[in-house]
Amino acid sequence: SSPPPQQQHVALFAFPFGTHVAPLHALARALASAAPEAIFSFISTPETFTPLPQTAGNLRLIPFDGGKLDAGSSAGVLDRIGKFLAAAPEKIGAAVKTAEANAGGVPVSCVVSDAFMWMAESTAEEMRVPWIALFSAFTLSILTHVHTDDLRSRFGIEEEAMAAHADEPLDFIPGLAAMRVRDLPEGIIHGGTNTNFSVHLRRMGQRLPRAAAVVLPTLAAFEQDLFVFRKLNLPLLIGPLNLLSPTPPISDKEDCLPWLDSYASSSVAYVAFGTVAALPPAELAELAHGLEDSGVPFLWSIKKELRSGLPDGFEERTRLRGKLVSWAPQVPVLSHRAVGVFVSHCGWNSTLESISAGVVMLCKPIFADQRMVARAMEEMLGVGRYFDDVITREGFVTAMDEIMRGIDGKRMRERVKKVREKTVEAMLPGGRLSENFNVLVELVRGR
Ligand code: UDP
How close are the terminal C-alpha atoms of the chain, in Å? 21
Residue 230: which of 253, 208, 258 has the closest Cα? Answer: 208
147 as an active site residue: the answer is no
CB of 328 sitting under 6 A from ligand 1: yes
CA angle 275–278–284, rounded 5-degree value: 130
Phi then psi dihedrals of residue 114, to 5 deg: -55, 140
pLDDT band at residue 73, thresholds of 50, 70 and 90? low
Sign of CA dihedral 75, 77, 79, 82: positive
Q: What is the mean pLDDT of the chain?
A: 94
Cα distance between residue 79 and residue 88, in whole Å: 14
Cβ(370)–Cβ(387) below 8 Å: no
Q: Given a cut of 70, is residue 2 above it in pLDDT?
A: no
Query: What is residue 338's predicted lDDT score, i.e. its pLDDT?
Result: 98
Of 107-116, 153-162, 347-356, which gets the smallest average pLDDT? 153-162
Whole-model pTM over 0.90: yes
b/e burial code for range 193-214 (CB count within 10 A of at least 16 → b): beebbbebbbebbebbeebbbb
Query: What is residue 247's predicted lDDT score, i.e. its pLDDT?
Result: 80
Residue 254 amino acid letter? E
Cβ(277)–Cβ(367) below 8 Å: yes
20 as an active site residue: the answer is yes
CB of 301 sitting under 6 A from ligand 1: yes
Of 75-89, 345-359, 415-429, which gets the smallest average pLDDT? 75-89
Query: What is residue 356's predicted lDDT score, i.e. its pLDDT?
Result: 97
C-alpha 47 – ligand 1 centre gap (Å): 17
Reported as a single tens digit per residue, the pLDDT across 175-192 is: 999 999 999 999 999 999
Q: How far is CA 334 from the centre of its chain?
A: 16
CB of 217 sitting under 6 A from ligand 1: no
Reported as a single tens digit per residue, the pLDDT across 197-233 is: 999 999 999 999 999 999 999 999 998 767 778 888 8
Cβ(139)–Cβ(148) below 8 Å: no
Cβ(202)–Cβ(119) below 8 Å: no
Residue 174 amino acid letter? P
C-alpha 389 – ligand 1 centre gap (Å): 23
Taking CA atoms only, the protein residue closest to ligand 1 atom 7 is: 330
Catalytic residue among 9, 20, 289, 336: 20
Across the range 119-142, mean pLDDT stands at 97
Q: Given a cut of 70, is residue 49 above it in pLDDT?
A: yes
pLDDT band at residue 31, thresholds of 50, 70 and 90? very high
Atom of ligand 1 nearest to the CA of 344: 20
pLDDT band at residue 6, thresholds of 50, 70 and 90? confident
pLDDT band at residue 371, thresholds of 50, 70 and 90? very high
Q: Given a cut of 80, is residue 67 above it in pLDDT?
A: no
SS3 track for 20-47 = CHHHHHHHHHHHHHHCCCCEEEEEECHH
C-alpha 99 – ligand 1 centre gap (Å): 29
CB of 344 sitting under 6 A from ligand 1: no
C-alpha 350 – ligand 1 centre gap (Å): 6
Atom of ligand 1 nearest to the CA of 275: 23
- ipTM passes above 0.95: yes
Across the range 152-172, mean pLDDT stands at 92
CA angle 427–55–438, rounded 5-degree value: 25
C-alpha 162 – ligand 1 centre gap (Å): 29
Query: What is residue 76's predicted lDDT score, i.e. its pLDDT?
Result: 82
